[in-house]
Amino acid sequence: MSDTLQKSSDIDLDKRPENGRATAIKSRLTSWDSIILVLTVLVLIVASFSVENFGTSRNFTFMVLDLLPIILIALPMTMIIVTGEIDLSVASTLGLTSSMMGWLWNQGLSIETIIPLCVVIGAICGVVNGFLITGLGLPSLAVTIGTLALYRGLAFVVLGDGAVADFPWNYTGWVTGTIGGGAVPNVLILIVVLALIFGIVQHATPFGRSLYAIGANAQAAHFSGIRVARTKFWLYVVSGAVAGLVGVLWTLRYSSARADNGSGLELAVVAAVLLGGVSIFGGKGSLPGVLAGVVLLTALQNALRLEDVSGQALNIVTGSLLVLSVLLPNITTAVRGNYHRRRLRQAASR
C-alpha cells in the first residue's frame, strides 16, 4: 500500500510544474556552483584574517603560480568531463613537453621556436588520445590511463633522470614576475584570458551547448545532427595542447625541464573539476563552479601550509573535501525529495 503511494507521489513530483521566479532564484542559490562559490569566498576571508602572511601580496603571487597549472588544464578537462569522458594523461603530456623543451633547448633551438613546438607536441598527444577514443571507440578511462604511462615513459626516454635548467632569464622571469613589480602576477593575465575564452565557448556557443547534450544523451545528440565523435576528438586535441602549454610554463617557472614534472597533477585537476560541481557522468557542471573549486582547493592548501600543517594532513583535507563534494549534492537532493514526498503523502491522506 505505502509502496503504491510512494510511486504515485513520485510521479506527481516529476510532473509538478515548479512555477514562479522565487523558486528559480531559490534553486539557483542552492545549486552546487553557488555553494562552492560562497565557500571559496568564506575560506579566503577567514584565511586572510586568521592565517599569518596569507593576505600578503607575495603569498598572493605564489598562490596564483600554484593555481596556474591546475586551472589551465581544468579548462578543457571540464568540457571533456561534461561530455562524459575523461583525460588522465594530461600530467604526463605536461611531463613529455617539459622533457622535449629541455632536449630541444640542448639542440640549440631558439626559445621562440621551442614554445610553439611544445604546444604542438601536446596537441599531438591529444590527437593520439582522440583517435584511440573516438576513432577506435575505446573507453577514455582505459586509453588515457595507458597514455598516462606511455607519455611519462617517453618523457624519461627523451631526457632521462637529468634536468635542463639554463633557460633564458627573461622568459623564466616573466612567468614568476608581476605586472610592474606590483601584486598582480603576469600569468594571471593568461589565466583570465584563457578562462574567458573557455567560459564563453562552453556557455555561450552552439559548440558548448552540444557538449552538454552529448554528455547527457549521446544518442539524442547524434539524432539532432551533432557530430559526437568529432566534437570529442577536438576536445582531446585542445586538452593536449593546453597541457603542452602548461608544460612550458611549469618548466619556465621552476627553470627546470624534467621528465617527472607535474606527476600526479591529473588527480588534482579532476578533483578540482568534480569539486566545482561537474558530474563525472557528464551533462552537468559549469566553468565558474570549477574555477571556484580550483581556488578553494589551492587557497585551503596554501593556508594550511602557512600554518605548518604536514603534507599528509593536506592530503587528508583535500581528499575529504572531494568526497564531501560528491556526497553533499546527493544528500541535499535526497533530503529535498523526501520532504516533498512527505508533504504529498500528507496531502493525499487528508
Partner 1 sequence: MAEANARPQKADAHNDPPQTNDPLPQANDEAKVANDPLPGASGQPQEASDRPREASDRPRKTAANTQLARLEVHDVSKSFGAVAAVQGVSFPLYPGEAHALVGENGAGKSTIVKMLAGVHRPDTGTLRVDGADVDFAGPADAKAAGIAVIYQEPTLFPDLSVAENIAMGNQPLTKLRQIDRKEMHANAERLFRRLGVPLDPTRPARGLSIADQQLVEIAKALSSEARVLIMDEPTAALSAVEVERLFAVVRSLRDEGAAIMFISHRFEEITALCERVTIMRDGKHVATEMVADLSVDDMIRRMVGRDLSALFPKQDVEPGAVVLEVEGLSREGVFKDISFSVRAGEIVALAGLVGAGRSEVMQAVFGVDPYDSGVVKVHGRRLKKGEPRAAMAAGMALVPEDRRQQGLVMDLSIERNVTLPRARKLARLGLLFGGSERAAAETWTRKLQTKLGRLSDAVGTLSGGNQQKVVLAKWLATGPKLLIVDEPTRGIDVGTKAEVHRLMSSLAADGLAVVMVSSELPEVLGMADRIVVLREGRVAAQLTRAEATEESVMYAAMGQEVAA
Q: Which stretch binds partner 1 (CB under 8 A): 16-24, 143-151, 299-307, 321-329?
A: 16-24
Residue 26 or 58 with smaller CB distance to partner 1: 26
Cβ-based burial of 17 (10 A; exposed 0-12, middle 13-18, buried ≥19): exposed
Q: Which stretch binds partner 1 (CB under 8 A): 15-23, 113-121, 144-152, 170-178?
A: 15-23
Q: Which strand (E) or helix (H) includes residue 257?
A: strand 257-258
Q: State the nearest-atom distance from the C-beta of 268 to partner 1, in Å.
A: 28
- Per CB under 8 A, contacts with partner 1 among 186-225 are 200, 204-206, 208-210, 212-213, 216-217, 219-225
φ, ψ (nearest 5 deg) of residue 264? 85, -5
R_g of the chain computed on alpha carbons: 23
Q: Strand, helix or coil at 164?
A: strand
Residue 41 or 216 with smaller CB distance to partner 1: 216
φ, ψ (nearest 5 deg) of residue 335? -65, -45
Residue 17 or 181 with smaller CB distance to partner 1: 17
Of the candidates 318, 292, 294, the residue with the CA atom closest to the CA atom of residue 305: 318
Residue 45 or 326 with smaller CB distance to partner 1: 326
332 binds partner 1 (CB under 8 A): no
Of the candidates 139, 245, 230, the residue with the CA atom closest to the CA atom of residue 198: 245
Residue 227 or 305 with smaller CB distance to partner 1: 227
Select the residue interacting with partner 1 from 115, 191, 226, 268 (CB under 8 A): 226
DSSP per residue over 268-282, as a string?
Answer: HHHHHHHHTT--TTS
Q: State the nearest-atom distance from the C-beta of 296 to partner 1, in Å.
A: 26
Select the residue interacting with partner 1 from 4, 19, 330, 346 (CB under 8 A): 19
Of the candidates 269, 273, 261, the residue with the CA atom closest to the CA atom of residue 94: 261
Q: State the nearest-atom distance from the C-beta of 312 to partner 1, in Å.
A: 39
Residue 120 or 229 with smaller CB distance to partner 1: 229
Select the residue interacting with partner 1 from 24, 42, 109, 328 (CB under 8 A): 24
CA atoms of 141 and 303, how far apart (whole Å): 33
Residue 66 or 85 with smaller CB distance to partner 1: 85
CB 121 within 8 A of CB 100: yes
Residue 180 or 206 with smaller CB distance to partner 1: 206
Strand runs labelled E in the chain: 163-164, 257-258
Cβ-based burial of 350 (10 A; exposed 0-12, middle 13-18, buried ≥19): exposed
Instruction: Give me 130's grid cell.
Output: 582522440
289 binds partner 1 (CB under 8 A): no
Residue ranges in contact with partner 1 by CB under 8 A: 14-19, 24, 200, 204-206, 208-210, 212-213, 216-217, 219-227, 283-284
